[in-house]
Amino acid sequence: MLLSLIIICSLGFIAAAVDAIAGGGGLISLPALLVVGIPPHLALGTNKFSATAASMSSAITFARSGKTSWPILKWQIPFTLVGASLGVLAVLRVSSSFLSVAVPVLILVVGIYTVIHKEFGLENRFRGLTPLNLVVACSFALTIGFYDGFFGPGTGSFLIFAFATFLGFDFLTASANAKVLNFMSNLASLILFAWNGKILYLYGIPMAIFMMLGSYVGSKLAIKRGAALVRPIFVTMSFLVAAKLIYQAF
């Protein structure tokens, strides 16, 4: 029991620090729960509980630093909540086998695109709200929120990429905004896991504490080092998430 807690708390801290910077922390935190012998359905719920606490921590840290763009987030949050709720309802009725093949390919494309375009995400090109970019922002908030509720892996990567590509944010601001929306979609999904008794709080609570600490450290590092730090970690995590999902699919 003690050894298991040490493993999940240590890896949870690292996962949350990485996730706060560029997404992809689930690549570390979920296997940590599985390796200590927790059944998959309980590992998913426990991981969602801890990840929600961590994303809340990083969202607050980014918000306090002034790196989040609230004028656009206040419009996106309701769409994210609706999308995630619909995704959770849909996954109870529809097979996610198609996504298990399609998603790693999409994440791989995101990583390759970022590598090829050397200046992508290093400069903030957002010029304020317009009717067009507001529609775009709410559309991808709804779509990616639905994806997070339905399937999940790579949500942070997709959000960061969407903010940088469609709205012109640099990687630091994109990561900060992504954390707020990711927290909202996590919260919507968490309610269902809790309602169905899929969370092991004995493991989830200590892991959540360490993940909140890791998230705080990761957020502070990102704020201090800026897009120059976020970009390479984003690319690395995109490739790792894609590789893991491809391995699982085939």
Share of the chain residues as helix, strand and coil, in percent rounded to the nearest 5: 80, 0, 20
Give dist(CA 49, CA 75) in Å, integer: 25
Contact 43, 30 (CB under 8 A): yes
Q: How many CA atoms lie within 13 A of 157 on its CB side?
A: 31
Q: What rounded mean pLDDT belongs to the chain?
A: 86
Per-residue pLDDT tens digits for 129-143: 899 999 999 999 999
Contact 225, 234 (CB under 8 A): no
Q: What is the pLDDT of residue 39?
A: 85
Q: What pTM was computed for the model?
A: 0.84
Q: Averaged over 166-172, what is the pLDDT?
A: 91
Q: Residue 107 pLDDT more than 80?
A: no
Q: What is the pLDDT of residue 54?
A: 93
Q: What is the pLDDT of residue 12?
A: 93
pLDDT above 90 covers what percent of the chain? 41
Q: Averaged over 109-115, what is the pLDDT?
A: 77
Residue 200, SS3 per DSSP: coil
Q: What angle do CA 207, 28, 78 make, to 5 degrees?
A: 75
Q: 50 versus 155: which is more confidently predicted? A: 50
